[in-house]
């Protein structure tokens, strides 16, 4: 049996998240869609990387559980939709334990998950690496 690719893991996770009443209520609005269209995917990726590095990656987050706004940026919405909003949700849904700094690989996985959800919401095909 071949190991699961990140894209397969993201697709599987979207199915699981769609069963959550809370997670499945998050969708991009017109403003967020326009923002992605105006800024482009490279900028959105940079924003996702920055938010993950600053708000999720540290081993101790003083306001963990409250650090991700519910609106204001497409990545924030994606973080809630994909359970990548705080270390507690990362542990519950993605089995990424709190209390230690996120590795580069874990950060890349989270950014990939966010972009996968955003592209799905925008009706774009996933990017193959």
Q: What is the pLDDT of residues 8-66, one digit of tens each?
A: 999 999 999 999 999 999 999 999 999 999 999 999 999 999 999 999 999 988 877 67
Mean pLDDT computed over every residue of the chain: 91
Give domain status of residue 127, yes or no: no
Give domain status of residue 92, yes or no: yes
pLDDT in tens, 54-99: 999 999 888 776 778 788 899 999 999 999 999 999 999 999 999 9
Domain total of the chain: 1
Give domain status of residue 129, yes or no: no
CB 79 within 8 A of CB 94: no
Q: Measure the CA–CA gap between 94 and 75, rounded to whole angstroms.
A: 18
Give domain status of residue 110, yes or no: yes
Whether this prediction's pTM lies above 0.85 is answered by: yes
Q: Measure the CA–CA gap between 125 and 129, rounded to whole angstroms.
A: 13
Residues 6+ apart with CB under 8 A from 92: 83
Give domain status of residue 113, yes or no: yes
Domain assignment of residue 50, given as a range: 6-122
Helix (H) or strand (E) holding 125: none
Give domain status of residue 1, yes or no: no
């Amino acid at each position: 049996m071949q190991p699961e690719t990140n894209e397969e893991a993201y697709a599987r996770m979207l199915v699981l998240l769609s069963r959550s009443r809370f997670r499945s209520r998050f969708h991009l609005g017109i403003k967020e869609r326009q923002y992605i269209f105006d800024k482009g995917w490279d900028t959105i990726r940079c924003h996702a990387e920055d938010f993950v590095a600053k708000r999720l990656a540290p081993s101790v987050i003083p306001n963990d559980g409250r650090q991700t706004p519910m609106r204001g940026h497409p990545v924030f919405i994606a973080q809630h939709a994909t359970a990548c909003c705080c270390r507690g949700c990362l542990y519950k849904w993605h089995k990424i334990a709190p209390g230690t700094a996120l590795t580069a690989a874990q950060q890349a996985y989270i950014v990939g998950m966010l972009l996968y959800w955003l592209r799905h919401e925008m009706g774009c095909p996933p990017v193959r690496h």
